[in-house]
Structure 1
Amino acid sequence: MSERPNFITPAGFRALREEYEALFAGERPKLLETIAWAAANGDRSENADYQYGRRRLREIDRRINFLARRMKAAKVTDPAAQPDKDRVWFGATVTLADVDDNERVVTLVGEDEADAGAGRISFESPLARAIRGAAVGDTRTVRLPAGAKDYEVMAIAYPGLSRRLS
């Protein structure tokens, strides 16, 4: 099974690794102790600590497996090392304007670190796909469920770049 690479920034990979370690080395061992203690108390069918512990353990194990797969498929990409900083690529922070001159600032990141409310959108999202490779002044049409919308690239910035390209 060949998964496509999971592009991710170094900070995003660190966050995945920290969550994995917190679950695997922190929460899981404590939960195993609680389950063992609850199992030693007798009747497991009416033991809420035991039942909740087993259910929570399954949730943790699923999350650990998911994180392990995502980290294995990860292709850590440092946006500061992007060779063509005049165009929109992975890790770029882009200022966009629509036809009504409403500005929107987005940063293109990996799926695991996307947070639309904070302006971090997945590199695979419709908006990101539409603006990939665009330069300042380019207009791109984004096809959304509500219909097509045009955006003009107003500025492009990358981490570690002291000036904004505009």
Structure 2
Amino acid sequence: MTASNTLTLTEAITRFLTTQSDAKSSVLQPALQKFIRWTGRTRSVDKLTPRIIEAYCEASGADSVAELAPVRGFLRYAHGEGLTGSNLGTHVKAKKRAGRAGAKRATADVHNETLTPESYQKVQAELQKLIGQRVEVAEAMRVAAADKDFKENAPLDAAREKQGHLEARIRELEQTLRYAEVLDAGTKSVRVRARLGSSVVVTDLKVNEELTYHLVSPSEVNLREGKISTESPTGKAFLKKGSGDTVKVHAPGGTLEYRIERVET
């Protein structure tokens, strides 16, 4: 590789995005920006290694390869342009789902949460709404199952996936209500702390950029929508933190530092 071919990660990704349509570029950008922040904006592309890529995939908390598709596509492009010695996209792999022990740790994060009466009612309302959707989802599965060609039954697969997400969210809300401590109406408000299901608005102190993350279970991760797992390094760092707190996340590109502006439950 010659010196003229050496580009920073930011420069290479910018070139990659110019090869995409405007619509596709806007879809790819959020995931690639996260990759840049984690790996290091000024890191040379030729300094990327399989270990770095695998570490990023683990840290991102992505639960499916599809969530990492933008990064995989960029790495394939980089190899095609001669920016890397091999196609590092082959090392893009989704994080393995947590087993029962991991699930127990995730639910433990919602124990003993303090909620205002209004927040408690909001959780109750969402739970009842989702419970009401069970019949609709079950009917969709019944209709899809009527097609006996199970080998290529996309509607049935989609219905099953939707049911899985629905039941996971119902369990989370039930856990929240079961262990929540509800403030009396006359009690002074307390600082809201991040937990599973929270939206966390932060400022990246290195670039003074405001970002919003949604803390979800591993099965709900969606990097394009800012949904990160509570089991990922960044998600873990945000847990039980509140507005004004500063958190640090260690990554190969350096330490990421965020200031929490507010937490929304």
TM-score scaled to structure 1, two decimals? Answer: 0.57
Aligned equivalents of 2:136 and 2:222: distance in 1? 17
Aligned equivalents of 2:217 and 2:142: distance in 1? 25
Equivalence for 2:231:
124
Contact 2:144 2:153 in 1 (8 A): no
CA 26–97 in structure 1, closer or farther in 2 if over 3 Å, else same = same
CA 128–72 in structure 1, closer or farther in 2 if over 3 Å, else same = closer
Aligned equivalents of 1:135 and 1:121: distance in 2? 17
State the one-letter code of the partner of 1:156.
V
Equivalence for 1:101:
208
Q: Which has the higher strand share?
A: 1
Shift of 1:65: 9.1
CA 117–19 in structure 1, closer or farther in 2 if over 3 Å, else same = farther
State the one-letter code of the partner of 2:228.
I
Equivalence for 1:149:
256
Aligned equivalents of 1:104 and 1:114: distance in 2? 16
> What CA deviation, in whole Å up to 9, does each residue of 1:69-117 have, x standing for no partner?
x948973226986557521112221111112211101121222333221
Contact 2:218 2:231 in 1 (8 A): yes
- Whichever of the two has the greater Rg, that structure is 1
The aligned length equals 135
State the one-letter code of the partner of 2:234.
L
Shift of 1:21: 2.4
Is 2:143 the counterpart of 1:26? Answer: yes
> What CA deviation, in whole Å up to 9, does each residue of 1:23-57 have, x standing for no partner?
5312111x12xxxxxxxxxxxxxxxxxxxx35225
Structure 2 unaligned regions, length at least 5: 1-98, 111-122, 182-189
Aligned equivalents of 2:161 and 2:224: distance in 1? 27
**In the alignment, which of 168, 172, 176 is matched to residue 76 of structure 1?**
172
CA 76–18 in structure 1, closer or farther in 2 if over 3 Å, else same = farther
Superposed counterparts of 1:5-20, under 5 Å: 5=104, 14=130
CA 24–93 in structure 1, closer or farther in 2 if over 3 Å, else same = same
RMSD: 4.3
Q: Secondary structure at the match of 1:76?
A: helix
State the one-letter code of the partner of 2:172.
V
Aligned equivalents of 2:223 and 2:194: distance in 1? 18
Equivalence for 2:45:
none
**In the alignment, which of 189, 212, 222 is matched to residue 115 of structure 1?**
222
Contact 1:142 1:150 in 2 (8 A): yes
Aligned equivalents of 2:250 and 2:232: distance in 1? 11
State the one-letter code of the partner of 2:200.
V
State the one-letter code of the partner of 1:26.
V
CA 118–102 in structure 1, closer or farther in 2 if over 3 Å, else same = same
Q: Which has the higher helix share?
A: 2
Shift of 1:22: 5.4
Shift of 1:128: 0.9
Contact 2:191 2:242 in 1 (8 A): no
TM-score scaled to structure 2, two decimals? Answer: 0.39
CA 80–103 in structure 1, closer or farther in 2 if over 3 Å, else same = farther
